[in-house]
Structure 1
Amino acid sequence: MRIRLTVAGLVLSGLLVACTGTPPREAVPTLKIAAWNIEHLAERDGSGCRPRAEADYAALRAHVKRLAADVIAFAEVESAAAAARVFPPDDYLIVMSDRPDSRRDYFCRRDAASGPRINKQDVGFAIRRSVKFTRHADLAALGLGDPDLRWGVDVTIEATRPLRLLSVHLKSGCSAGVEREACPILFEQVPVLERWMAERRAEGVDFAVLGDFNRRLAVAGDRVWRELNGDGISLIDAAGGEGSRCVERYADFIDHIVLDPGAARRMVAGSFEQFDYGVPEAEHPSDHCPIAVRVR
């Protein structure tokens, strides 16, 4: 009799799922979203501040395959053609910032009078072709009117319900504190992000801001984190207090996946990942390691 009841219960459970159309929680599909600063990814071999050969691009493609992310917010990429050398066009669509080239000509080393010259650095997304998305206008206001500051790239992806994503690469040189020369510029970018977040909240849309913030947001009392969490919002850093293991001398992340409460509820518990290149630090293909998380 117990066996019959158990079988009957299983059949009834299956019928209920079939009738309601609601799958078990573990069957709900997820998407893996990642952030990755690829360090001066150039379109041509031997170009820019991190000159690469075809073997280096091939190694990056292998890392992309291992990362197996559905959406990657990338930074420090010269062009869509450069991105396509790393993210195979058969697998990914490239969404690139529309920021015009400043046409300014700098050497890679500060105060240098000769040597390699820096290429344009931009942000964007590589989105797996199976993922439906909508592109929105770039967040040009992040550039503060300075042609050398990066814009944000803004998309909505279709997961279990829409999720708005903003890819960013903020001003470098102010990773902590308030005194360094670059800090006033970074602090001007923060209200731009706050306004973008406020607009998403007003629309009732779940969102995440991801990329290279160039800021150690997890440091206790950090000014930028405090300001972003103003006006009653409670943002969640997907790292959850975990320390960075990418570069030995830097224990804190400056790359982040920041989620609003709605997006945070959709994050798969325990899914935050620091990507390991699998080689000694001196052989890393970028000075940043990808970070990723799964969302429903």
Structure 2
Amino acid sequence: MIIDSAHAKNLKLATWNVEWLVSQKDIEVTPIPHDVLLRQPSDFQELLQYNSKLDADIVALQEVGSIGTLNSIFPKNQYLFFISNDPVAQHPALAIRKNIFDHIQQNPDLTELNHAAFSRPLRSGLDVTVYTQHDSIRILVVHLKSGCQDYPLDRQQLKKSCLLLKEQQPILQEWIKKRLEEKQAFIILGDFNRVVSPNEFFFKELSTKTSLTIPTAYKANPCWNGNYFIDGFLLDPITTQWLIPNSLRVMKYKEQDFDQQNKLSDHCPVSIRLSIPDK
């Protein structure tokens, strides 16, 4: 599908795990592990500068303590903020540039991803719908179970982290099924904690009802000396038509010393661009 750029809304979407973006006020409400180092004011200032460089219209974030803390790196006069209601220290969140959508609706969290049957609370999915004049996109921000990046999930014997990740898969599959029934355009983005590719069990199970696009599939992430992507995007057939080809980007930090990860993040922002028809 060729979209006339003169009649399209061009948007930059990013996902960024900001690694324990918490403040002293946050941990007074919800304690965090003792080995987590709180950032200093200079660290927040540096992240603010990187966010200015990223300059995305929609940013999905993971490991956010609160909207108040998120305001330390996202200017309140430029963005609107949404965060999950989980009773945990790390939340998925969204920062959306003001005045680019006609309406924004925060839907109930996908709390099934943080099910009481799990050994300890995980993170719900943050579910938000954005509306343009003629279209809408359902956005689901996720931060899935860690510890099972590439272990095959179709084996009979799985370690605990893989079992938990595998339990999250049908929850996402059911969310996708509902969006398809509604004929609703959608994007799932965030930290999958999984190298997701079209031939892999996790993805194949998600895409049984439709064709999903993974812009990061089979690509190496240059962040912190590189690895395969665990942060990324799943696009339905509608939003796939809006994806600008070859728009995948990673914003690397100028600091390359691994000691800087505690000040910045162990993840780099990953972005794509969409061109949404405006007529």
Give TM class, smaller chain: 0.7 to 0.9
Residue type of the partner of 1:251?
A: N
Which residue is equivalent to 2:136?
162
Q: Name the SS of the counterpart of 1:182 in structure 2.
A: helix
Identify the match of residue 241 of structure 1 among 208, 218, 226.
218
Of structures 1 and 2, the larger Rg is shown by: 1
1:180 and 2:159 are equivalent in the alignment: yes
What is the rounded CA distance, in whole Å, between the counterparts of 2:244 and 2:199 in structure 1? Answer: 27
Question: Structure 1 residues 252 and 162 mapped into 2: Cα distance closer, same or farther (>3 Å)?
Answer: same
Residue 256 (structure 1) shift: 1.2
What is the rounded CA distance, in whole Å, between the counterparts of 2:251 and 2:228 in structure 1? Answer: 15
Which residue is equivalent to 1:73?
60
Identify the match of residue 99 of structure 1 among 86, 95, 109.
86
1:272 and 2:259 are equivalent in the alignment: no
Higher RCO (C-alpha 8 Å, min separation 6):
2
Higher alpha-carbon deviation: 34-43 or 171-180? 171-180
1:40 and 2:20 are equivalent in the alignment: yes
Residue 43 (structure 1) shift: 2.0
Which residue is equivalent to 1:134?
105
What is the rounded CA distance, in whole Å, between the counterparts of 2:214 and 2:220 in structure 1? Answer: 12
Question: Structure 1 residues 264 and 46 mapped into 2: Cα distance closer, same or farther (>3 Å)?
Answer: closer
Amino-acid identity (%) = 32
Question: TM-score w.r.t. structure 1 length?
Answer: 0.80
Question: Structure 1 residues 277 and 26 mapped into 2: Cα distance closer, same or farther (>3 Å)?
Answer: farther
Q: Name the SS of the counterpart of 2:17 in structure 1.
A: strand
RMSD over equivalenced CA pairs, Å: 2.0
Which residue is equivalent to 1:10?
none
Matched-pair contact (CA < 8 Å) for 1:39–1:288: yes
The count of corresponding residues between Structure 1 and Structure 2 is: 253
Residue 26 (structure 1) shift: 4.7
Which residue is equivalent to 2:232?
256
What is the rounded CA distance, in whole Å, between the counterparts of 2:25 and 2:114 in structure 1? Answer: 29
What is the rounded CA distance, in whole Å, between the counterparts of 1:281 and 1:72 in structure 2? Answer: 25
Matched-pair contact (CA < 8 Å) for 2:218–2:228: no
Identify the match of residue 30 of structure 1 among 10, 30, 54.
10
Which residue is equivalent to 1:228?
206
Which residue is equivalent to 2:92?
123
Identify the match of residue 197 of structure 1 among 172, 176, 181.
176
* Structure 1 runs (4+) greater than 6 angstroms displaced: none
Matched-pair contact (CA < 8 Å) for 1:239–1:257: yes
Residue 272 (structure 1) shift: 1.2
What is the rounded CA distance, in whole Å, between the counterparts of 1:280 and 1:46 in structure 2? Answer: 29
Q: Name the SS of the counterpart of 2:24 in structure 1.
A: coil
Higher alpha-carbon deviation: 132-141 or 190-199? 132-141
Higher share of residues assigned strand: 2
Higher alpha-carbon deviation: 53-62 or 272-281? 272-281
Question: Structure 1 residues 44 and 235 mapped into 2: Cα distance closer, same or farther (>3 Å)?
Answer: same
Which residue is equivalent to 2:124?
151
Question: Structure 1 residues 32 and 142 mapped into 2: Cα distance closer, same or farther (>3 Å)?
Answer: same
Which residue is equivalent to 1:16?
none
Unaligned runs of 5+ in 2: none
Residue type of the partner of 1:262?
A: I
Identify the match of residue 50 of structure 1 among 37, 40, 44.
37
What is the rounded CA distance, in whole Å, between the counterparts of 2:4 and 2:170 in structure 1? Answer: 41
Higher alpha-carbon deviation: 272-281 or 90-99? 272-281
Matched-pair contact (CA < 8 Å) for 1:154–1:167: yes
Matched-pair contact (CA < 8 Å) for 1:45–1:51: no
